[in-house]
Structure 1
Amino acid sequence: MKLNRLDKVITAMKENNIPQMLVTDKLSIFYLTGKMINPGARLMALYLNANGEHKLFLNELFPVHEDLGVEKVWFNDTQNAIEIVSNYIDKTSTIGIDKNWSARFLLSLMDLCPNCKYINSSFIIDSLRMCKDDEERELMRKASQINDTAMVKLQETLLQDLTEKEVASKLATIYEELGADGFSFSPIVGYGANGADPHATPSNNKLQIGDAVILDMGCIKDSYCSDMTRTVFYKEAPEKACEVFEIVLEANKRAIALVKPGMRFCDIDNAARGYITEKGYGKYFTHRTGHSIGLETHDIGDVSAINEDLLKPGMIFSVEPGIYLPGEFGVRIEDLVLVTEDGHEILNKITKELNIIK
């Protein structure tokens, strides 16, 4: 077990009067044990008790031979896994449950333990995962370094007269060659008018001279995610598109400049959104300014107008303002930003200035 992280979880459980908790999210279990186990549709659960009596419930289909610092309780497909779990919990007190635990498991446990009080306890680990420790920060830097290199290589493919789909497919090979472990999300490649859809699906469109090209991509390395967007131009950059690009770039820079401990997420959002609105494009900035990232591409926490939480050292999130003009083009520029003890660090190092691919 990652004892420093476990200690923080137990402390938070006691502070919130949660004597016991079932952690069933595979990424949260990895966060606490250092072991990534993918049980698919089968049950896996880490039982934590404030008194220190912890158990890891595992199906025999997923053998784990290492000592994870917690007692393993095994079961197989011929056994009732929920009944086995129920034998270890205090059936008369509160128990914390993960927010995404399957109803088929939770309802069965509620039938077996009707006198328990069930509450959503995900906020405990979610809040800890928001602030990365030194080990996690370095892993996030490495994932972003790979993504930087991959972005440069992907932009080079734009000179090969490929469709959006073909460019997107090239990325898998690029990531593999660079040592990434796969995609953190399906890449977005949008030429011209297709880039006006913030979540554009790569199509069979081919590049036209003057197209703005949105490339939004991320990889996983050692379980941690990267994410970055660059907008480049093919052969030439039309005047209106240049104007919009510079507005988005300035919005990105203004928002990042504010990042430091004690600022609010909504202040970061307002720096980008306020500038774009001032320039007359506010209604075309249709999404939040960013999202937290770590073991998941979208960790808990976002950079939005309604999030008044304070920034803390170790938080990592995207700053990705955009302007999307239906039927014309879109521009988005995204960096990952780490909140340091006295300011911030931008994890993406490659240029985000106006770039015309020739």
Structure 2
Amino acid sequence: MKLNRLENVLDSMKKANIPQLIISDPASIFYLTGKWIHPGERMLALYISLDGNHKLFINELFPVHEDLGAEKIWFSDTDDCIKLLSENICKDKPIGIDKNWPSRFLLDLMKNNGASSYVNGSFIVDKARMIKDKEEIELMKNASRINDMAMEKIINLTLEGHSEKKMSGLLLSIYEELGAEGFSFDPIIGYGANAANPHHAPGNSTPTKGDSIILDIGCIKDSYCSDMTRTVFFKSVSDKSKEVFETVLEANKRAIEIIKPGVRFCDVDFAARNYIESKGYGKYFTHRTGHSIGIEVHDFGDVSSTNTDILKPGMIFSVEPGIYLPGEVGVRIEDLVLVTENGYEVLNKANKELQVIG
């Protein structure tokens, strides 16, 4: 296992009075071991204990030959894997459970009197993953560099008048050419009125003069995610659309400018939201300002009005205000931002100023 990360998790477990923990989320298991295992419907459980008795319960269908720093406990499809798990944990102590562990496993473990009590232990690894180490920061920067290049290429392709769906396919080819492993999420590509739907799924629409074009794209590189949104206009931009764009751009910049250790996530949200509201578009900003990102495109933690957690060096999250006028225009501008010791670093370098294509 990656010892520094494991030590941080064990320290958090001790502070939270959780002596043992079951981790089932493949992304969190990768974070701690450096090994991806995708179990499908089968049980996968990394058991971590303060006494150092770490074990990985894994189906024989998934051969893992590396030393992952935990004893491997193998089982077959016909074995009672929960019985096996319950025999290897401390029955007289509480245990933390992963929030994503299927109830069919948890309920069976409880029936087997696996532990004295059960608590949601996901916050232990979730919060550890929020603070990126040097290796992770470099991987995130590299993924964003690829995304910057992909954004430039896909913007240029809008001139050819492809459908939203065709653009999505072209983007996948671009990522492959640039050495990425694929999408970090299904891209959101919307023209005109479709851009006013924040989570529009690419369809058969083609761009017409004056359309705003939202390009919300991200790739995976070396198991880390990128995410960025740019909005451009096709051949012309109306005064109203330009006003909406400039409002969103200023909100994006104002939110980023206040980022530093000690600031709250909600303060970043307020910086963007208050500006948009001051321009009369408050009710058209319909989502939170951002989300944490790393191994998963939506890691634990968000930039919202209700999150009072404090920013710390090593955190990486999106800042993506938007305005969506139904049937008219949609604008979103998104950057990934790293919290540094004294402030911030924007990971995305792609042009986010007003662009009229064609």
Question: How far apart in 2 are the matches of 1:200 and 1:292?
Answer: 21
- What residue in structure 2 maps to residue 305 of structure 1? 305
Q: Secondary structure at the match of 2:172?
A: helix
In the TM superposition, 1:1-358 aligns within 5 A as 1-113=1-113, 116-358=116-358
Q: What is the count of residue pairs matched by the alignment?
A: 358
Q: Which amino acid aligns with 2:49?
A: N
More displaced 10-residue stretch of structure 1: 248-257 or 62-71: 62-71
Task: Between 210-219 and 155-164, report the one with greater CA deviation.
Answer: 155-164
Q: Could you tell me how far apart the structure 2 residues matched to 1:195 and 1:138 are?
A: 32
**What letter corresponds to residue 156 of structure 2 in structure 1?**
E
Moved more, 228-237 or 161-170: 161-170
Determine helix, strand or coil for the equivalent of 2:58.
Answer: strand
Give me the whole-angstrom Cα distance separating, in 1, the residues matched to 2:53 and 2:273. 49
Q: CA deviation at 1:67?
A: 1.1
Partner secondary structure for residue 156 of structure 1? helix
Letter in 1 for 2:259: V
For 1:303 and 1:160, how far apart are their aligned partners in 2? Answer: 36
Which whole-Å CA distance do the structure 2 matches of 1:161 and 1:276 have between them? 31
Deviation for aligned residue 1:47: 0.6
Letter in 2 for 1:143: A
Structure 1-normalised TM-score? 0.99
SS in 1 for 2:150: helix
Kindly state the Cα deviation for residue 177 of structure 1 after the two structures are TM-superposed: 0.8
Amino acid at match of 2:30: F
Contact 2:262 2:310 in 1 (8 A): yes
Q: Percent identity?
A: 65
Pairwise CA distance, 1:115: 5.3
Q: Which amino acid aligns with 1:324?
A: Y
* Matched letter for residue 7 of structure 2: D
CA contact (8 A) 2:262 2:312 kept: yes
Show structure 1 runs of 5+ residues with no match.
none
Q: Deviations over 1:123-176 (max 9, x none)?
A: 011011011010000010011111111111111111112111111111111111
Q: 1:115 to 1:207 in 2, by over 3 A?
A: closer
Superposition RMSD on alpha carbons, in Å?
0.9
What is the Cα deviation at residue 18 of structure 1? Answer: 0.9
* 1:114 Cα offset (Å): 5.9
Shift, 1:116, TM fit: 2.1
Specify every segment of 5 or more residues in structure 2 that has no aligned partner in the other structure, as ranges.
none
Cα deviation per residue 1:244-288 (whole Å; 9 max; x = unaligned)?
101100000000000000001111111111111111111111111
TM-score scaled by length of structure 2: 0.99
After the TM superposition, which of the residue ranges 197-206 and 111-120 deviates more from structure 2?
Answer: 111-120
CA distance in 2, matches of 1:40, 1:151: 33
Cα distance between partner residues in 1 of 2:274 and 2:22? 42
Which secondary structure does the structure 1 equivalent of 2:37 belong to?
coil
Quote the offset at 1:322 in angstroms.
Answer: 0.4
> Deviation digits for residues 64-112 of structure 1, max 9, x if unmatched?
1111121111111121111111110011210110011001111111111
Amino acid in the other structure paired with 1:179: G
Distance 2:5 2:93 in 1: 24
Report SS of the residue matched to 1:229: strand
